[in-house]
Amino acid sequence: MSEHINKAGDLGQIREHLLYLKELGVGLVTAPDDLNADRPAVDRPGTKNELTQVNADLIATTVKIPPPDAASTIDKRSSAISRLRSLPRLSKRTDPAVMGTGAAPDEMIKKTGLTGDRSTIEAIEAIRNEIGQECSRCSLCSLGRSQVVNSVGNTNARLMFVGEAPGADEDRIGEPFVGRAGQLLTDIIEKGLEIPREQVFIGNINRCRPPGNRAPEPDEAAACKPFLLREIETVKPKVIVVLGATAAHNLLDVKTPISKMRGQFHDYMGVKVMPTFHPAYLLRDPNKKREVWEDIKLVRALLNELAE
Ligand code: SF4
């Protein structure tokens, strides 16, 4: 009986820590069946012996716990339990003393809408403040914008997405890639790459909506782009996916058609850049989804390789 209670306690702790690992972004975490045995089937992520691969590409750490019915694995299981127990408790995970001195306090995350460590959030905030909500560095300030739409996401992201400029929904809500095209981008990130959207960093070359959703003029892009480049320098992503021809041309300073650029990595200051079609274009021509999927598979493979 007491052995049963102890086992239940161990399993509870393991499940708690697996959830914790998931929140930390630890990739491919597998667990024995009995960890999920008391959960309804619909609530069990993944297939047999597999928890959802939340963030397979971002962090290389893999924790594997042997199957419960293998008598010879008891020692290994004890060792796995002991490793998991050595992690800080879930209830203390937001304490900077536990997470490391660089952890951002909850109030900062709430105030900025950014996640990441304290110093990079502060750096992105400083860039936002420098731009200001009344920015008039280019003509888009007086062509009907509602607000400046800043980049969002995880300031320590290994993956970044760059578009050209806000559209009507983004201009109204104040966040990049919302609305139908934004939902498609979310699907690409969460279904294609199996990464929660909030764990990537997303921005645009221009932060104000061009009238009629026209492409930003070269002088408009030139005025705004330096802020994005500083964000790239701050976040230090390993890979950037650049969405659409205008953004790709502005970021990489080339004029090659997007159809010729996609499908291969380019270089921006040592960062691998994958140009692909803009989600808004995919809404107009769904046949292009297959090519985007090919590009995303290359991104996923590279992230996996870089994590090893
Ligand atoms: S697009 Fe950029 S540079 Fe131009 S007004 Fe907006 S924030 Fe300023």
Please report the pLDDT score of residue 260 as a whole number. Answer: 97
- Mean pLDDT of the 94-115 span: 71
The first and second tokens of residue 254, run together, are 């080339």
Is the Cβ–Cβ distance between 257 and 238 less than 8 Å? no
Sheet holding 152-154, edge to edge: 114-115, 152-154, 201-204, 159-163, 239-243, 271-276, 266-268
Structural domains present in the chain:
2-93 (no CATH), 106-307 (3.40.470.10)
CA of 191 to the centre of ligand 1 (A): 32
Could you report the per-residue pLDDT of 172-221, keeping only the tens digit for each?
A: 999 999 999 999 999 999 999 999 999 999 999 999 999 999 999 999 99
CA of 163 to the centre of ligand 1 (A): 14
Residue 91 confidence class, pLDDT cut points 50, 70, 90: very low
Could you report the per-residue pLDDT of 135-165, keeping only the tens digit for each?
A: 999 999 999 999 999 999 999 999 999 999 9
- Mean pLDDT of the 3-15 span: 51
CA of 134 to the centre of ligand 1 (A): 9
- Provide the percentage of residues in the chain whose pLDDT is more than 90: 63
pTM, entire model: 0.69
- Mean pLDDT of the 80-99 span: 39
Pocket lining: 148 vs ligand 1, CB cutoff 6 Å: yes
Is the Cβ–Cβ distance between 292 and 185 less than 8 Å? no
Please report the pLDDT score of residue 14 as a whole number. Answer: 56
Could you report the per-residue pLDDT of 14-66, keeping only the tens digit for each?
A: 555 455 444 433 433 333 333 333 333 333 333 333 333 333 333 333 334 34
CA of 205 to the centre of ligand 1 (A): 9
- Amino acid 177 reads F
The first and second tokens of residue 166, run together, are 């806000």
Tell me the best of 133, 141, 219, 228 to mutate to test the pocket of ligand 1, counting ligand atoms within 8 Å of each CB and taking the most: 141
For residues 157 and 105, the model is more confident at 157
> Which of 141, 153, 167 has its CA nearest to residue 234?
153
Please report the pLDDT score of residue 157 as a whole number. Answer: 97
- Mean pLDDT of the 237-262 span: 97
Is the Cβ–Cβ distance between 117 and 156 less than 8 Å? yes
Please report the pLDDT score of residue 74 as a whole number. Answer: 43
Q: Which string of b and e fits 228-262 if b means at least 16 CB within 10 Å?
A: beebbebbebbbbbbbbbbbbbbbbeeeeebeebb
CA of 142 to the centre of ligand 1 (A): 10
Pocket lining: 221 vs ligand 1, CB cutoff 6 Å: no
| 281 contacts: CB under 8 Å, gap ≥ 6 | 244, 288
Q: Between 118-131 and 218-235, two packed helices, what is the crossing angle to 10 degrees?
A: 160
Pocket lining: 112 vs ligand 1, CB cutoff 6 Å: no
Residue 11 confidence class, pLDDT cut points 50, 70, 90: low
Output the residue whose Cα is nearest ligand 1's atom 3: 224
279/27 Cα distance (integer angstroms): 26
Q: Looking at the predicted structure, is the pLDDT value of residue 227 above 60? A: yes
Pocket lining: 135 vs ligand 1, CB cutoff 6 Å: yes
Output the residue whose Cα is nearest ligand 1's atom 2: 224
Q: Looking at the predicted structure, is the pLDDT value of residue 99 above 60? A: no
* Residue given tokens 């199996």 in the structure block: 194
Output the residue whose Cα is nearest ligand 1's atom 6: 208
Chain centroid offset of residue 77 CA: 32
- Provide the percentage of residues in the chain whose pLDDT is more than 70: 67
- Residue 110's Cβ-side half-sphere holds a number of Cα atoms within 13 Å equal to 4
For residues 26 and 13, the model is more confident at 13
Please report the pLDDT score of residue 31 as a whole number. Answer: 39
Output the residue whose Cα is nearest ligand 1's atom 7: 207
Please report the pLDDT score of residue 15 as a whole number. Answer: 57
Pocket lining: 140 vs ligand 1, CB cutoff 6 Å: yes
Tell me the best of 162, 219, 224, 227 to mutate to test the pocket of ligand 1, counting ligand atoms within 8 Å of each CB and taking the most: 224
Please report the pLDDT score of residue 308 as a whole number. Answer: 76
Instruction: State the DSSP string of 226-239.
Output: HHHHHHHHHH--SE
Pocket lining: 223 vs ligand 1, CB cutoff 6 Å: yes
